[in-house]
Every structure is written in structure tokens, then in C-alpha cells.
């Protein structure tokens, strides 16, 4: 794939042109990527304050006792959303399902350890850790491999 960028003051708006011999999966992925709008911030509540979080700084989001929390550097901040809403909002930012109650940020993963029962222990750059249930290990591997990385690092 070749990329050509033309920046000039003669243009009033931003246009993207894709030139290809035929419609392929790569073209389709590019179109979908261009259409996606990534959330800039997500609102968390801590005590009486509302805090704006950048999706890229969140390690994982989890549900416990009918509440949803974002984990950032070992701190937990409550979100006033359902877990499935957070998952839908953040999937464009590299978040995928780890288990029934956890959605994790693939971009913050540092390393993995396989557990004896088939689950995966994920360690984040911040030092936090979370588990991926057997049901979702395959999806995580696929997401990581798509990015060119390996689980054996």
C-alpha cells in the first residue's frame, strides 16, 4: 500500500481518495477505520468530582456489585455507564472483552502469563493485572496478532 498526502492551502476541506484495482478486505478495513470516531474522553466519578479520562490511559474497565469502574495506575474510578456501553464506546480505542465482567485495553498490555486452567494473566504497563477467561483468550490472541505482536514475548 502506498500513501500520498497533499497539504495545500487551496483545499477548503479534507478529502480522502482510495485507489485500488478491486474492493479487498484491506480497502474495506481502511474505509471502516476512516469512518470511526474515537471518543476523546470518558467521564468518571470520584467522591463528588467528575473526572475526564483519556481512553488510552485506562488499563481495564470492570463491573462489580452492579457498578462499573475504570482502572488507571492501580486506582479505580466509577463510571456511570453499563459495561456493554463502555465496551462499545472504547472498542475503537483497542479495548476488547477479557471476561464476562472485564473489558481491557490491548494497547496497555505489557506481558502475559498462561495459567494452568487455560486463563491468561495479563500484566499492564502500569503494573496492574487482570485475567482473561478461556472463552476470550482466542479473541485477545487474534487482536494482538493483528497488530503484529506475539503472546510469547
Contact 79, 86 (CB under 8 A): yes
> With bands split at pLDDT 50, 70 and 90, how would you rate the model's confidence at 82?
very high
C-alpha cell at 106: 490491548
The arrangement of strands across the sheet holding 49-53 comes to 49-53, 42-46, 75-79, 67-72, 60-64, 102-105, 95-99
Tell me how far apart the alpha carbons of residues 26 and 31 are, in angstroms, rounded to a whole number: 9
Please give the pLDDT value at position 38.
61
Backbone angles phi, psi at 137, to 5 degrees: -60, -45
pLDDT of 39 over the 70 cut? no
The per-residue pLDDT for range 83-139, each reduced to its tens digit, is: 999 999 898 888 999 999 999 999 999 998 988 788 899 999 999 999 999 999 988
The per-residue pLDDT for range 45-77, each reduced to its tens digit, is: 888 889 999 999 999 999 999 999 999 988 999
Mean pLDDT for the stretch of residues 29-43: 75
Please give the pLDDT value at position 105.
95
Please give the pLDDT value at position 153.
39
Amino acid at each position: 500500500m502506498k500513501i500520498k498526502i497533499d497539504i495545500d492551502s487551496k483545499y477548503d476541506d479534507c478529502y480522502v481518495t482510495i485507489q485500488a484495482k478491486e474492493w479487498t478486505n484491506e480497502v474495506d478495513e481502511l474505509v471502516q477505520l476512516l469512518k470511526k470516531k474515537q471518543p476523546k474522553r470518558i467521564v468518571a466519578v470520584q467522591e463528588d468530582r467528575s473526572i475526564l479520562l483519556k481512553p488510552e490511559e485506562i488499563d481495564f474497565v470492570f463491573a462489580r456489585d452492579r457498578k462499573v469502574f475504570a482502572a488507571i495506575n492501580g486506582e479505580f474510578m466509577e463510571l456511570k455507564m453499563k459495561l456493554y456501553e463502555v465496551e462499545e464506546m472504547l472498542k475503537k480505542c483497542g479495548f476488547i472483552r477479557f471476561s464476562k465482567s472485564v473489558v481491557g485495553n490491548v494497547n496497555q498490555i505489557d506481558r502475559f502469563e498462561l495459567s494452568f486452567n487455560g486463563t491468561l494473566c495479563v500484566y499492564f504497563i502500569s503494573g496492574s493485572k487482570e485475567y482473561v477467561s478461556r472463552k476470550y483468550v482466542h479473541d485477545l490472541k487474534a487482536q494482538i496478532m493483528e497488530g503484529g505482536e506475539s503472546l510469547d514475548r
